[in-house]
Structures are given as structure tokens and as C-alpha cells.
Chains A and B, each alone.
Chain A
């Protein structure tokens, strides 16, 4: 259902959630964002919970760096420790680390919701049709968005070819040495691919007219307004519940 929404309201909602995640220094708020983002993908988008957990791993590793920095080098994160002094996690330094740790995951999960539910072609068309993004920049961005899955696919092809040369079936996951050895061929692939894409777009007339037709650009529907209202209301409720503002009422 999220995949069917117009990409731009969805982008705005995700940016607001990201901004809130950065601005609010409360581990419960960050945890709430992580849970709601994960639920959106599992319940609404029918994604596997295992996939969602796997997605969290790189963000968690990144956040773990903040946690250890805040705990071991507290003088360097003075602002964070002062902000976290009132939280229920014992030592201020540890509390600050937890907030930074959860913030990394929350930002990652909100970004993942957008990326996993937005088809790059629709996104670029929406940017060109609604925000007048230059087609040259738009299609360059489009190629860049597709580069990651295409690099993964090319990496597998190269691994197959090398495995064949060695006479062994490739391992499911490449080891560190194998991964390092893939860097240069993949860089060469990315350059060749960019070159080919540039030729294809040039040969088919990109940039010859100032206003080009955009076929199949997404259109705003009532569902987009409903989504925006519900998403922002959820964020507000989460903030009220975790900040204790409701106690004043």
C-alpha cells in the first residue's frame, strides 16, 4: 500500500520523521520511531520480519560506534550527556549513547521505509513533474539509484566466473579477501555502465527540448493526504506520549 502512494508526500513525511528523530533527544521516542517504521513494513508492506531485522544490522553497527564513544569519551559528548541526564538509563553517558544508538537505527529505518516502498522511476518522474527537476540530473540520479542492485548482480556474476575458474561452487557470502578483490572490477563495471547509460540517453535525445513530456508521472490522490495526516498525527502522538507533555494536561 505504501508503494502505491505518491513519492513526494511520502518523502516529506519521511523527512519530517527524520528531523524529529534528530531533534528529540529521548530514547523512548527513538525506539517508538523504530517500532512504528518496522511495523509499517511488516504489517502494511508484508515484508519479512527477518528482512527488517537484517536491515537494522548496519545501522545498529553504526549506532554502536556512538554508544561506545559516548560511554568511553564522555567529555567529547558533553551536550549529549547533559541532554540525557534526565533519562531513566542510569549513567548520563550511557543514556546519551543509547539515544545516539537508537537515533542511528531510527534514521536508518525511516530511510528504509522510503527506499523499499518507492520505485526509483516513479520518484524521478514525480520530481521532474512536480518540482521541475532537470531531466539530465533526474536521469543521472535514476541511474545512481539503480546502481546498487545492479552492482550486487554484477558481483554475483563475477563471483560465478571466478568460482568456475577455480573449479569450486562459490560460497553463499563472500569472505573479506574475496570482497576486497571485487572492488576494482566493480568500479570498472560502474564506470562502463555509466558510460553506456550516457550513450543511451544521448542517442535517444535527452536534453534536446526545454520541456519534455513525462508519461505516467504519479498523480496525487486522496490516499496521499490521508497518509500524510495519519503519519504526522502518529508522530505527534508519539512525541506527546514520550515527552510527558500529556501529564501537564
Chain B
């Protein structure tokens, strides 16, 4: 039986000393130099803009980089007190569980039950212990029992992420590494993951962009800059207050509360304890003098107006309509029945629902990409940003991909490359980009093309840093202002609230609600039944309505 390695008490769980990684034929370092320690029992959040080398750094912990993914490494890496290279990546699996950014790097294509048991079988654990651990992991991750016999390849992107989470949890390893674990998870599934990370005893290293809900469980934050070097580390409260401006400039995510705190500090309202969640800010606001509260109210109104999309009412004929539609994925039975909806020019609509609710199927059907199994669809085809951006790439370089849309006009191409921060990778093959860069390229090509009267964006912010997410939000606003419609499929409630005025909730194979988004997000019963959570921002909206200032 393969046993986990014991950690010397004084040794950190992971230690990088002056580590730098360079991939073959690459001119620049992928990451580094980085000197950082992850202490035993600690929950460390690694932040940085997309493409800065966070995933590469995680890969060095078990030697996947360079043993499986070739690279040149300088510096020292010690995992659980011994050099990472002293064991093979496979031998580390008893002590280190890894949840990769791409679920397909965690899963091997088996049935759900076999996937979750796979790492335990490889350690030759007794069959009854494997059964117990698999049951426990499936329950912890919230994977329904009915999925056990399903092949993971037949699941939706979010469902696969959930199974990957269960597979990593089943390892019950001393060190748990998660690379953007919530990118495709519905809010209730993300909350379950946050509860796991908040548990006692184990050591967690997490890279994630969705901080609200996660940040309260984190002990320490380390930040890598665009140049791949570590530039800050410390407690979350200190880092977000002291380095908030720099983080914003680097395009790195901050909790909403940290952003608002920065604005309040700007007008001289400094809360005693730097806040991580909006409820802490509200507590602080309640203790302010009436004059300060009035000043704070002005700032908060501005803060909210930047983060909540205004209403848009379309009176013109609809762009596309579905009537009593039965919508099915390719080569599959219908997952949505009796769908009737329309999308009008200039509208911004969020499609919400739990993993596997049929959101992508609805989007692709409305865009005219999937044939109906029943009912009717009217209207022209729409543009569709696929959940896996590679699907859209057909050219040999980033520049050529953009030229296929806007022609050979170098000035236009350079402007797009600059707007989406792709100028440094313009001549690279699209498949060589990081996940975040691939998504930016896919969205850049889609939004640059003006042929479509409406766009459907499937999980547009998954894997993106704050700067890219803000860029997409402003593009969506511009597209809508130009009279085109945008439909956003997302689990990111804050992004939905920021970009969309209307919401559609899918549940139980049909449309459970179709109404102004802010009204939907205040319907607790609806959210609970559809596996959604209200965005944190609504706490502030409610406070502003309850406390005139």
C-alpha cells in the first residue's frame, strides 16, 4: 500500500527558494524568481493576473513541471520537507491532491464512481475503505448519487469540475492544491468548496479569481505580478488595504469589500479593521456619525452604479425567439422542454442555474447552432463564445486569428491586441496561450465581429483576471449600447449583476423565472431551489435602502 509522507513538524508544507521556470523555446520566464513558503495547516491564496505563471508554480510542487511538462527550473523546491524532485509526481499523490484549472487534467474519462476511486486504487487501499472515502467525497462535493455510472465526458463543464473536486477530495491528502476550483461551479457548489477549505487541519494552496465567499477562509495571500515575480505577501486584510492600488493596476482580483474600503479611505473614512466582506463594512458604517455616513453614502452610490447594470427595455422587434422549444445538446435527448423566450436589441440577459441545468444548450439553441427537437425558433443566427475557447481557433497565430475577422488592417489589429492585453503573444499559436489568454482571444474575435445581431457568451469570465473581466463588462455595455443584444451564461453573480439587466433562471428542465435580474436575485426561495446564492453586493443595496444617507 502506498503511504503518505510524514512532514517534519518544523518543515513548511511547500518551500520555493529563488525558483524560476522557463519553458522550452520561450524567451521569457514563465514564472519567477519566487521565494515563498506554505506553512503546515495554513490556507494560502495565490493571486496574480492571468498568464503570470501561477499554474506553473503549482505544477512544480509535485514535480509535474518539469517531469511531465518539460521546463528548465532554477532554485530549490521542497515539498513536505524533501526536495520535490526526489519523488515522481505519481508518488506525491498520496500526500498531495491536485485540482487542476482544466477538469480534463484531473479526470481520465471514466465513469464518475471510477474517477473518484482512481487515486485510491492506485494507492492499493482496501476496497471497503475506498468505498467509504468515495461516498464521503461525493457527499462533500455535492455530486448526486445518480451520476455514479455516468461517463465524465458526457457531463457539462461545471459538472465535470464538480466531479474533479470530489476526486481530489477523496484523496484526503495532507496538502490540497486547487487551481481556480470555482471557475465553472455554481454558487452553491462553490460554497461547498469554500466550506471544505475552511475546515480544520489540512493545508490548502488555492489559486482563484472568485474571492467573495473564499477570502474569509484564507490565512495568507501571496501575489505574483505580470512579470512573474512575487511582489507581496501577508494577511488578506493587510494586503488588500496596503496594496489595493497596485493590485488594481496589475488587474488582480480584490474582494468587493476591499475595493469599497479603498474608496472610503479616499474620503478619510478608515475603518479600524480592514474589511474582507461587505457585512464588516456595513457594521462599520452603522457606527459612523451622520455626517460621515452621508459622505459614505455618496461614495457607495457611485460604487453600486459601477456594479449594477441599469434597466434596458427593448421596444424593437426581437433578435431571436424560441416558442415551446425542446432544446438538446448534440446527439442527446432534450434537456429543456417547452422553452418560450425572446431576446430584443440592446438587451443584456443573464442565464443562471446550477451545473447541468442546460444553460449552454439554451444559449447554443438561441444562437441557432443546435437544432430544435420540438417547437420553433425564429430570427438570425447569433455569435457564440464557447466554454472551451480552443474550439473557436482555426488560425496559426493570435494575429492571424484576429485578421480572419477584421481583415489585414494592422492598426485595428494592434488596437484589439492592446485592449485585450494580447500584444505580447500576438505571434504565438493560440493553443500555446494560458487559459485566461485563450479566453480573451476568443472574446476579442467574437466582439470584434459586427455581423451578429446578438452574442451568447458562455462562462466569459472563467479563468480571467479582474482587468480582463472589466474589459468584457465594458464591451458588453458598448455592444448593448450599439443596439446588439448579449446573453451571458455565468455562475459569477457579481458579473451578472454588473452586466445584465434581465435574468433567466433555469431549473428542472425549464425556465423557472424570467424577470429583471435584481428582482430575481432578491427572491431567496427561487435562488435556493435553483442552487444559486444572492450576490454579496445586495447586502449593500439593502443597507442603502434601509438607512437613508
Contact = CB atoms under 8 A, between A and B. Distances in A.
Contacts of A202: 64, 67-68, 88-90
Interface in A166-184: 167-170
Nearest to B94: A205
A193 interface: yes
B62 interface: yes
- Max count, chain A CB within 10 A of own CB: residue among B114, B120, B122, B331: B122
B111 A121 contact: yes
Interface stretch (B123-131, B184-192, B261-269, B477-485): B123-131
Contacts of A185: 394
A167 B369 contact: no
B105 A196 contact: yes
B450 to A, nearest CB: 12
B392 interface: yes
B109 interface: yes
Interface stretch (B348-356, B380-388, B461-469, B524-532): B380-388
Interface in B323-348: 330-331
Contacts of B1: 209
A146 B154 CA distance: 12
A213 B121 contact: yes
A13 B425 CA distance: 56
B541 to A, nearest CB: 37
Interface in A116-171: 121, 135, 139, 142-143, 146, 149-150, 153-154, 156-158, 160-165, 167-170
A90 interface: no
Nearest to A119: B111
Interface in A186-225: 188, 192-193, 196-209, 211-216
A156 B451 contact: no
A198 B114 CA distance: 17
A168 B69 CA distance: 39
Contact of A158 (B100, B102, B391): B391
A128 to B, nearest CB: 10
Contacts of A162: 394
A204 B167 contact: yes
A149 B153 CA distance: 10
Nearest to B383: A164
B153 A213 contact: no
- Max count, chain A CB within 10 A of own CB: residue among B89, B391, B431: B391
B228 interface: no
B104 interface: yes
Contacts of B114: 121, 215-216
Interface in B26-48: none
Given A204-B93, A216-B114, A143 B108 contact: yes
Contacts of B253: none
Contacts of A192: 390, 431
A213 B125 contact: yes
B367 interface: yes
Given A205-B2, A205-B119, A216-B113, A196 B102 contact: yes
A209 B130 contact: no
Interface string B377-409: 000010110101011101000000000100000
B121 A165 contact: no
B233 to A, nearest CB: 26
Given A203-B89, A205-B90, A213-B124, A167 B451 contact: yes
Interface of A: 121, 135, 139, 142-143, 146, 149-150, 153-154, 156-158, 160-165, 167-170, 185, 188, 192-193, 196-209, 211-216
Interface of B: 1-2, 62, 64, 67-69, 88-91, 93-94, 98, 100, 102, 104-111, 113-114, 117-127, 130-131, 151, 153, 167, 171, 330-331, 364, 367-371, 381, 383-384, 386, 388, 390-392, 394, 404, 431, 451-452
6 contacts: A146-B151, A153-B330, A160-B384, A164-B381, A202-B90, A209-B1
Given A197-B108, A205-B119, A208-B88, 7 more contacts: A157-B330, A160-B369, A169-B369, A196-B102, A203-B93, A206-B122, A212-B121
